[in-house]
């Protein structure tokens, strides 16, 4: 049993891991599947000395940590940039509110129960036709444009934001305002970029004010939407503060948009890169659902989430101490050769694609997973119906983030 943390240099790590910056967005945007494979093989429980956190990279270990919140708490920061810069989590939350994503059981279950009815299959199904109309409208614009279009700006960014507006009960006309401010939240996830972080905080305060006003309006005149539910909810335990209601809205907005955005654009890129597989889906739309699972597995839109150790725990042969920070690398876990054959290749017929943890695992497993799956399936169907020959028209630019794996731009042509 290692008494840890050992010094980085004492670990005698293989060369590939020596220069790796696990708190640097450019590491993830380079799609470092070779480094992940080496981590899983040689250092599955890895102490990342430069920013002092543990890194779990196998499917089994990431799942273990995600499913044991009594050992691995979400309260001390849930993102890599927060465990690398511990003051950031508190600054983001603003101190006075609770956030679903950052709350441990049993309080977590009380808060989650408030929003859960809005995410059941019947509740989501009601939105299907409106989601289809949103997707069709955006894709028709691409089909009608003869030139080069940035698929991210034209399709993958607007659709999830408009869907979240539908879900919450916000005017679709506000989607652009909300998108600009929500996007700043993930672009603030650079390693040392304090300026971007401060700018993102300012945008965040504007969103807080926006939601505070909408919640107040629904308190006075209730409607049949999720904002009204959040405005009036009384959880079983402690009451919900005004700020907790605001942060609930904000959490849904941010968690529900950029992850879905990168799944749509990343999925479109995979189809353009694998035209044979694209044609097989188009010929048999029954393949769409498994194709979406394989896209989620392959892309792994959420790079990693973080936890803080609550009591001494041994993972493999390594002891972690209370207070230690841990990164759960979903992006590596979803390419684990212990679960999938040839994990770094894209295969829409992969029988066990759905074992991916793109939506996390355990009590914090994505509450919007059903909605995201529905949305991605609809967008895939409409894409194949309206722009079946989507082709690349330039080099896609990756997003620079330690939170989201995806594209900042995707230049395409309809035919
Ligand atoms: C492809 C799209 C999506 C991906 C990849 C994704 C991924 C994730 C992951 C990995 C978690 C777990 C976080 C953790 O363990 O700390 C999570 C939680 C969450 N997601 Fe998603 N998500 C997606 C779409 C959505 C949508 C559409 C919504 C809502 C509109 C949503 C709302 C949430 C919320 C509120 C949580 C926190 C749940 C909790 O803490 O109990 N997500 N998501």
Q: Summarize pLDDT for 18-65 with one digit per residue, the tens.
A: 778 999 999 999 999 999 999 999 999 999 988 999 999 999 999 999
Q: What is the chain's length?
A: 415
Cα(251) to ligand 1 centroid in Å equals: 9
Q: Are 305 and 366 in contact (CB under 8 A)?
A: no
Q: What's the CA angle centered on 20, arms 19 and 24, to 5 degrees?
A: 125
Distances in Å between the Cα of 199 and the Cα atoms of 80, 87, 159, 182 are 19, 16, 25, 12
Provide the β-strand partners of residue 48: 53
Atom of ligand 1 nearest to the CA of 108: 41
Atom of ligand 1 nearest to the CA of 330: 10
Q: Which of 123, 170, 368, 380 to mutate to test the pocket of ligand 1 (most atoms within 8 A of CB)?
A: 368
State the pLDDT confidence band at 208, using cuts at 50, 70 and 90: very high
Q: Are 197 and 403 in contact (CB under 8 A)?
A: no
Residues 6+ apart with CB under 8 A from 263: 295, 296, 299, 301, 372, 376, 406
Atom of ligand 1 nearest to the CA of 262: 1
Q: Are 310 and 70 in contact (CB under 8 A)?
A: yes
Is 7 a residue whose pLDDT tops 50?
Answer: no
User: If you average pLDDT over residues 78-95, what whole number do you get?
Assistant: 75
Q: Are 158 and 180 in contact (CB under 8 A)?
A: no
**How far, in Å, CA of 37 to CA of 234, rounded?**
46
186-201 confidence digits (pLDDT tens): 655 554 567 777 878 8
Q: Which of 246, 254, 255 to mutate to test the pocket of ligand 1 (most atoms within 8 A of CB)?
A: 255
**How far, in Å, CA of 156 to CA of 206, rounded?**
23
Atom of ligand 1 nearest to the CA of 74: 16
Q: Which of 375, 202, 359 is closest to 288 using CA atoms?
A: 375
pTM metric for this prediction: 0.94
Q: What is the pLDDT of residue 95?
A: 59
| Structure token pair of residue 412 | 């395409």
Cα(8) to ligand 1 centroid in Å equals: 33
336-390 confidence digits (pLDDT tens): 999 999 999 999 999 999 999 999 999 999 999 999 999 999 999 999 999 999 9
Cα(101) to ligand 1 centroid in Å equals: 8
| Residue ranges around ligand 1 (CB below 6 Å) | 66, 74, 78, 100-101, 112, 164, 167, 251-252, 255-256, 259-260, 263, 301-302, 305, 358-360, 364, 366-368, 371-372
**Mean pLDDT for the chain overall:** 91
Q: What is the pLDDT of residue 15?
A: 57
251-309 confidence digits (pLDDT tens): 999 999 999 999 999 999 999 999 999 999 999 999 999 999 999 999 999 999 999 99
Atom of ligand 1 nearest to the CA of 305: 16
Q: Are 303 and 275 in contact (CB under 8 A)?
A: no
Cα(303) to ligand 1 centroid in Å equals: 12
**How far, in Å, CA of 380 to CA of 278, rounded?**
10
Of the listed ranges 100-104, 145-149, 284-288, 350-354, the least confidently predicted one is 145-149
Q: What is the pLDDT of residue 6?
A: 43
Atom of ligand 1 nearest to the CA of 100: 40
Q: What is the pLDDT of residue 81?
A: 85
Q: Which of 262, 258, 265 is closest to 149 using CA atoms?
A: 265
**DSSP secondary structure, 226-258, as one string:** HHHHHHH---SSSPPPHHHHHHHHHHHHHHHHH
Q: What is the pLDDT of residue 1?
A: 42
Q: What is the pLDDT of residue 2?
A: 43
């Amino acid at each position: 049993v290692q008494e840890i943390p050992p010094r980085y240099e004492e670990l005698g790590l293989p060369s590939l891991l020596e220069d790796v910056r696990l708190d640097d967005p450019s590491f993830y945007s380079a799609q470092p599947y070779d480094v992940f494979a080496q981590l899983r093989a040689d250092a599955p429980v890895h102490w990342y000395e430069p920013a002092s956190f543990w890194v779990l990279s196998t499917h089994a270990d990431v799942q273990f940590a995600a499913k044991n919140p009594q050992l691995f708490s979400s309260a001390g920061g849930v993102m890599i940039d927060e465990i690398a810069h511990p003051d950031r989590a508190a600054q983001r939350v603003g101190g006075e509110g609770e956030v679903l994503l950052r709350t441990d059981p049993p309080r977590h279950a009380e808060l989650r129960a408030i929003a859960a009815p809005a995410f059941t299959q019947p509740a989501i199904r009601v939105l299907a036709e409106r989601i289809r109309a949103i997707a069709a409208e955006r894709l028709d614009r691409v089909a009608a444009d003869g030139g080069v279009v940035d698929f991210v700006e034209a399709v993958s960014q607007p659709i999830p934001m408009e869907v979240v507006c539908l879900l919450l009960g916000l005017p679709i006309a506000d989607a652009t305002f909300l998108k600009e401010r929500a996007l700043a939240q993930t672009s603030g996830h650079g390693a040392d970029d304090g300026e971007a972080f401060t700018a993102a905080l300012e945008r965040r305060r504007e969103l807080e004010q926006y939601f505070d006003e909408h919640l107040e309006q629904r308190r006075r005149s209730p409607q049949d939407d999720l904002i009204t539910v959040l405005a009036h909810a009384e959880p079983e335990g402690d009451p919900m503060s005004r700020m907790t209601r605001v942060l609930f809205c904000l959490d849904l907005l941010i968690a529900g948009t950029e992850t879905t955005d990168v799944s749509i654009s990343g999925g479109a890129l995979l189809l353009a890169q694998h035209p044979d597989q694209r044609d097989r889906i188009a010929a048999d739309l029954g393949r769409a659902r498994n194709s979406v699972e394989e896209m989620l597995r392959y892309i792994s839109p959420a790079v990693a989430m973080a936890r803080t150790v609550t009591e001494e725990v041994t993972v493999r042969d390594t002891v972690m101490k209370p207070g230690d920070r841990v990164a759960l690398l979903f992006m590596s876990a979803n390419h684990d050769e212990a679960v999938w054959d040839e994990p770094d290749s894209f295969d829409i017929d992969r029988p066990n694609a759905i074992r991916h943890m793109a939506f996390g695992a355990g009590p914090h497993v994505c509450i919007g997973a059903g909605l995201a799956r529905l949305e991605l399936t609809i967008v895939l169907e409409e894409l194949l119906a309206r722009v079946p020959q989507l082709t690349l028209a330039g080099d896609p630019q990756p997003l620079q983030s330690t939170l989201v794996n995806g594209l900042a731009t995707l230049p395409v042509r309809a035919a």
